Structure 1
Amino acid sequence: MDEAPEPVEPANLRFLRLLVTGLTGIMIVGLVVVVALIVIRLNGDGPTLPDQITLPDGIEATAMTIGQGWWAIVTNDNQILIYDQMTGALKQTIEIE
């Protein structure tokens, strides 16, 4: 018996297969890049925190934030204490009303 000839793949189907394969490769590369950027960002050095800050007597810290060159401590008696990041000295006291 004669063997049936191989069916010829339509050009549109070949184009779609190449397109799907290419887009899959691009998606994989993009996912690897996003994961790598997240890992690099999370492994970076965070802000430098002080080893110890001396608060005035009877005051407790309730929150802390870090700015460029300063630390701000929010206290339980409605004050914000601004400390110099290099020296650790108290620079400013702000009353919260």
Structure 2
Amino acid sequence: MTDPSEPPNIKFLRRLVTGLTATMIFGLLVVIGLLVIRFSGKAPNLPEVIAMPGGEKPVAFTQGPDWYAVVTANDQILIFDRMSGALRQTVDIERQYIYER
């Protein structure tokens, strides 16, 4: 009389699927853990207040180790000292117009 249990290849396939499921769950937990670790760091050190000269309107902000810069709506980059907040440098941005035919 033959054994009514599953054929060996079906048992092997079931073990393979179970292993794959366990691997995917473990991988998902690792990815979630890495995201939590990565984004739970301290926030960047931003200045409390930035005194914009002449009523300029800021449109972008970036920072370096001892400076921060603000791009204004009037196409200027204002570079400030991080420690004192004093304006270090002003860079004018030239507009380039592209004409299409």
Q: Indicate which of 39, 48, 53 corresponds to 2:50.
A: 53
Task: Percent identity, please.
Answer: 53
Q: 5+ unaligned residues in a row in structure 1: which ranges?
A: none
User: How much does 1:32 deviate?
Assistant: 0.9
Report the equivalent of 2:18: 21
Paired residues, number: 94
- The one-character-per-residue Cα deviations of 1:16-51 (angstroms, maximum 9, x if unpaired) are 111111110000011111112222222222321100
User: How much does 1:95 deviate?
Assistant: 0.3
For 1:14 and 1:68, locate their aligned partners in 2 and report how far apart those are by CA, in whole Å. Answer: 60
Report the equivalent of 2:28: 31
Per the alignment, in what secondary structure is the counterpart of residue 47 of structure 1? coil
| Root-mean-square deviation over aligned CA pairs | 2.1
Task: Report the AA paired with residue 87 of structure 2.
Answer: L
Confirm or deny: 8 A CA contact 1:82 1:92 kept in the other structure.
yes
Per the alignment, in what secondary structure is the counterpart of residue 15 of structure 1? helix
User: How much does 1:5 deviate?
Assistant: 7.0
TM-score, length-scaled by structure 1: 0.78
Q: 5+ unaligned residues in a row in structure 2: which ranges?
A: 95-101
For 2:81 and 2:29, locate their aligned partners in 1 and report how far apart those are by CA, in whole Å. Answer: 41
